[in-house]
Amino acid sequence: MPAQVKTDNSMDQQTGLTSQQAADRLKQFGPNETTTKQRRPPWLDQLLLLFNPLSVVLLVAAGISLFIGERFDAVLIAAIVTIGGAIDFAQTYHAQVTIERLRATVAATASVERDGAWRELPRSQIVPGDRIRLSAGDLVPADARLIESRDLAILQAMLTGESTSAEKMATSAEASCAADAVNMVFLGTSVVSGTGIAIVTATGRATAFGDIVAQLASKAPETAFDIGIKQFSYMIARVVFVLVLLVLAANLALHRPPIESLLFAVALAVGLTPEFLPMITSVTLARGAVAMARKHVVVKHLPAIQNLGSIDVLCSDKTGTLTAGAMSLVSSALPDGTLSDAVRGIAAVNSSLQAGIRSPLDAAILASGATSTTQTKVDELPFDFQRRRLSVVVEEHSRRQLICKGSPEGILPLVTSVSTSAATEPVTPGWLQQARSYCDAQSNLGHRVLAVAYKAVPIKPQYVLADETALTLAGFLSFADTILPDAAETIASLSLDGINVKIITGDNELVAAHICAQAGLSVTEIVLGEALELMGDTALTQVAERANVFARVSPPQKLRILNALRRRGHTVGFMGDGINDAPSLHAADVGIAAPHAVDIAQDAADVVLLEPGLAVLHEGILEGRHAFGNVMKYLLMGTSSNFGNVLSMAVAAVALPFLPMLPAQVLLNNFLYDLSQLTIPTDRVDAEYIAKPQEWDIAVIRRFMILVGPISSIFDFITFYVLLHVFHAGAAEFHTGWFVESLSTQTLVLLVIRTGRSPFRSRPSWALLASVVTIVVVGFWIPYSRFSASLSFTHLPVSYFVFLGSATALYLGMVELVKRHIMSKGRYLRTGHHVRRENI
C-alpha cells in the first residue's frame, strides 16, 4: 500500500502539477482506486474458461482417448472444448468492454488544476499533490488538506455515522487522518454546501478510510435477476448430479468399459448444463445496454437492466419529467401584489452570494436582470428541508443585513412587518391573508412562488437560525416551468405498459395539481408532507398505493414512500438529481439519475439519463424488458429440450445393450445445439411481452422442464422403437438416427419456445432463423460427410427421413399445445396498479 504524502504549507503551490509530474506520481502511487482488483490479461481469462470442472474432465478424457489410440475422438473432444471456450471468451470479453465504455461516459470526474489550468479529469487519475476544487454536490475524490474554503460543509455520514454535516475550513494545521480534523476532507464524503480548494494528500487504499470505502462499494446488493440465476444454477446442479451419478452407476453395474462409461456420464452433464448461460446473459444484457445508450439511457450495472424492465411504479419529481426544468421569472411583486423589480434585486443578492448549489430558481433570478452588488457576504445559514429557506448576511458601510428567501410557508410565520411601495408597515391578519391569497393565486396558475424577506442584524462573529426572526417581507417572486410537449403522450404510454407514475415534489399541492393537469396526469389523490408525518408505516402503505401525487415532501419522507411501495410488492424506480436524493436512489429497486444530476446522485444511481423527460426513460424500460425476454428464452430452452434429451439418454443407457450415443457424438450434438442459440440475443420479443412489467419466476422455468422435457423424451422413445423394430438398426445406425433426430428436434423447438404466440405469428430475427436452419442442415449432412466413419456414423435410409419429418412436426405441435397451457397458467393478475405473475 503506498504511503500517504506528508504535506505542509510548503506544498501549497500556486498552480497545480504539470502533466509530467502527475504521470510520474501515477506510476509511483498507482491509480486513485479503492479496489486493488485489476483486470486479468485476456489470455488468462481464456485459460480459466478451459479449467472449469467439466472442461477439465473432458480434456483428461481426451488425453486418455489419445493414449488408447482413439485419436479422432481425442481431437474432437479437445476441439469442442477449445472452440466452445474461445466463443465464450470472445463474446463475454466483448460484452465487458462494451459496458465499461458505457460506464466511462458517465464516470465521475473531479476538477483538477493541471499545467496551470482547471480541467475535469477522471477521479482515477488524481495523484498526491494535485490541487482539486470542490463545490456543493461534489464527491470528495481523495484525502486532501484545504488551502482555501468558503462556507464549506461536508457530509461524512458513510465514514463517521454522523447524519449532520461537518464545517470545514482552511487552516495552517498539517494534514491529519482524524475525521474531525477541520482542515481535512476525505475520500467517500460529499460536499453539502460551500466551495474549497485542497491539496491531495493520499489516494486509493492509502486514504484514511480507503478500506471502509472499498467495503461499502465492493458489491452491489443482489437484484431479483441475480437471485433468480443463482436459483436456476442450483436447480440444474442438483439435476445434473443425480442423473450423472445414476447413469455412471448403471453402466458400471452392466460391466461396460469404465473410461467410456465415465466419458458418457460427463457428456450427459455437459448436455444438461447450460454452459453458455453466463455468456448469453452478458451478451444479451450488453446489447440491451448499447441499445439503451443509443436512446440516451446509460446503465452502470448490467443486472439493473432486468430490474428496469420490472418497474411497475415510477416515482419522480415533476421537474425534468413533466416539465423542462428551465425556470423563468414571470413576476416580481410586493406583498400587496404590486409589481416591483426591487424584490428581484434583493433576491439576486442572496442568489449571487450563497455558497450552496444554485437551483434553477437561482439561475432564473440571476438571468432576469443585473446582479452586481457592493455588499460583501459575512455569513450564511444554508438551506434545509425543515426550514425551507436560505439566508445570507451581508455588510455595506459597516451595516449588516440578513436576506432570506424560501417557500412562503417557511418565511411568512417569521414576518413581523411588510414592505409596501410607500413604507414599511406592521403585519396584520389582513396583510397575511392577502399575502397567502396572492401565493395561492400564483400557484393555481402553476407558478412556483418564493418569498423574500430581510432584516437589519447587529455585528457579531457568527449568526444562527434564531436570527431568522422578526423579518420584513419584501415580496414574492413567481416562476414558470414549461410543460414538456410529449409529457401527456408519454404518461399515457407508460400506463399502457403497466407503469404507474407517482409525482413526489417539494412544491405545494396547488402547483403540483396544475402541472399534472397540464401534463395529462390524472390526479387520484394528493397527500401532503404534513399528513405523512402523522402516519404510521401501515397506514402509509395503504396511502402510497392509492395516491399518485405527494406534495411538500421532505427527503426522508420520499424514502418512506418508496419503502411503503416496495412493501406492497412493487418494483419501484426513483428518479432524482439532488444531494438529498441519494438515499432514495439507493433505496429504490432502480435508482435513476436525471440529466445534470449532481455527482452524489449519479454515484448512487443504477441508471443515468442523458436527456430530460419520461420518454427517454420509457424507451429504456422497454429495452430492459426486451433483454430480459431473450435471456428467458435461453433458460427455457436449456431446461426443457436439454432435460428431455438427457433424460432419454439416461434411460436408453440402462435399457439398451449399447450406449444410445457415443460420448464424442453426445458432445458434438450438444456443441452444435449450443451454436444454434448464440444468436438468441439478436431475436425479436413479442409486443405483448414487452407491454407488461416482467419479473423473475423460477416456477415457470421449472414447469417448462417438467412438462416440455418429457415430451421430448416420449418422441425419443418412439424413435428408439422405430429404429430398433422397424429399421432393425444396429448400434451405428441407431447412433446416427438418434443423433439426427435429437439435434433436429431440440434445435427446431427453439422457434416454438421463443414466443408466447403461435410460431407462425411471431417472426424470429434473421440471424436466429439462419443459425437454427444451418445447424439442422449440418446435422443432416454429417452422416454423409467424410467425417462420418470417424464419428462412427453411417448412412440412413430415405424412409427414415420421412418418419423423422412426421415425428418432428408432431413433436413441435405437442410442445406448442403444452406451451400455451403453461402460458395460460402463468397468467398476469392485477392488484390495483400492480402487475404480478401468479405462482402455480
| Helical packing angle, 663-676 and 731-748, nearest 10° | 20
Contact residues for 323 (Cβ-Cβ < 8 A; gap 6+): 481, 482, 483, 484, 487, 515, 519
Q: At what angle do helices 614-655 and 698-721 cross, to 10 degrees?
A: 40
Question: Rg of the chain's alpha carbons, rounded to an integer?
Answer: 34
295, 613 contact by CB (below 8 A): no
Sign of CA dihedral 336, 338, 339, 342: negative
Extract the C-alpha cell encoding 321: 419529467
Catalytic residue numbers, as ranges: 317
Q: How do strand 500-504 and strand 313-316 relate by DSSP bridges?
A: parallel
Query: Which residue shows C-alpha cell 453426445?
Result: 666
Instruction: Identify the sign of the CA torsion 128, 134, 139, 145.
Output: positive
Give the angle 382-384-390 at the CA atoms, nearest 5°.
45
Q: What is the dihedral of CA 276, 281, 286, 289, to 10 degrees?
A: 170
Query: Rounded CA gap, 593 and 618, in Å?
Result: 14
Q: Answer for the pair 415, 405: CB distance below 8 angstroms, yes or no.
A: no
- Residues 717 and 736: their CA atoms lie apart, in Å, by 15
DSSP assignment of 765-792 equals PHHHHHHHHHHHHHHHHGGGSTTTTTTT
Rounded CA separation 362/355 (Å): 12
* Contact between 752 and 815 (Cβ < 8 Å): yes
Spell out a b/e string for 605-621, using b for 16 or more CB atoms within 10 Å of the CB, else e.
bbbbbbebbbbbbbbbb
- What is the rounded CA–CA span in Å between residue 348 and residue 665? 81
Sort residue 569 into left (φ over 0), alpha (ψ -120 to 50) or beta.
Answer: left
Q: Are β-strands 389-396 and 424-426 bridged in parallel, bridged antiparallel, or unpaired?
A: unpaired
Return the SS3 of 724: helix
Report CA 416 to chain centroid distance, whole Å.
Answer: 50
Let me know: does 683 contact 750? Beta carbons within 8 Å. Answer: no
Exposed / middle / buried, residue 672 (Cβ in 10 Å: 0-12, 13-18, 19+): buried
Q: Helix/strand/coil (H, E, C) string of 639-659?
A: HHHHHHHHHHHHHHHHHCCCC
Q: Report yes or no: 513 and 526 within 8 Å, Cβ to Cβ.
A: yes
C-alpha cell at 271: 448436455
Largest CA distance in the chain: 114
- CB contact at 8 A, 142 and 207: yes
Instruction: Single out the residue of 160, 152, 159 nearest to residue 132, CA to CA.
Output: 152
Strand stretches in 387-498, DSSP E: 389-396, 399-406, 415-419, 424-426, 448-457, 471-480
Q: What is d(CA 678, CA 674) in angstroms, rounded to the nearest whole number?
A: 7
